[in-house]
Amino acid sequence: MPATARAGGVAATETGFAALTHVEPLRRRLAALDLAGFRLIRASVRVPEAVEAVRAYSTLGEHGALWMALGGAGAMLDRRRRDRWRQATLAVLAAQVISTAIKLLIGRRRPIVDELPALIATPTELSFPSSHASGSFAAARAFAPLLGTRTIYAPAAAMALSRVLLGVHYPSDVIVGAALGTVIGSLGR
């Protein structure tokens, strides 16, 4: 191989390595921002009655139960649009399965901040992405044509936010889960 080609290969390798060295500081800054957002949101829940209300609502979203029940009820009660309800509900189920698979692959642990402990138990210690957020936003996107956008997005957003308020997800877990759910929910329309 000519020397110029080797030099070009070395230069390309050095350039690639230099590009990677810029990734780590950015990753650290994003992680610090994520933790700061977590602290800000999590610390905002101080009233015991509010904690109980958020905990009760969040529990309804476990494994997409609220959204699956809504889809099942819609399919039973709205015979004319039964197939649309079923398709939308399958999108919610798909979001739950896909987000869980991604969680297993990524393996990110839930937040552990001593002065801001989690306020709810979770079935796993895995955090990224939030399955509550992915299922909720899949439901919002898929059910919106059936229920109306205003009717469904507010409870979906509240469900997603509840996970940070309760201290079991970072904001980035919820943001990515919501984006994933929106994409998957689009398939259920």
78-110 pLDDT tens trace? 999 999 999 999 999 999 999 999 999 999 999
The more confidently predicted of residues 14 and 27 is 27
Mean pLDDT over all residues of the chain? 87
Distance CA 59, CA 166 (A): 11
Instruction: Check which CATH number belongs to the domain holding 133 and give it.
Output: 1.10.606.20
- CA geometry: angle 76, 80, 86, nearest 5 deg: 50
Whether the per-residue pLDDT at 6 is higher than 80: the answer is no
| 8-12, 106-110, 118-122, 128-132: least confidently modelled range | 8-12
| Domain count for the chain | 1
Per-residue pLDDT band at 3 (split at 50, 70, 90): very low
The structure tokens 């921002």 sit at: 33
Upstream peptide bond of 117 is cis (omega within 30 degrees of 0): no
Q: How confident is the model at residue 19 (pLDDT cuts 50, 70, 90)?
A: low
More confident residue, 182 or 117: 182
Looking at residue 9, what is its pLDDT? Answer: 46
Q: Which domain holds residue 38?
A: 3-186
In the predicted model, is pLDDT for residue 73 greater than 80?
A: yes
Q: What is the pTM of this model?
A: 0.82
Flag whether pLDDT at 5 surpasses 70. Answer: no
Higher pLDDT, 5 or 56: 56
Q: Which of 69, 50, 11, 85 is nearest to 158 (CA)?
A: 50
Residue 34 structure tokens: 């994520």
CA 106 to chain centre: 13
Look at residue 14 and tell me whether its pLDDT is greater than 60.
no
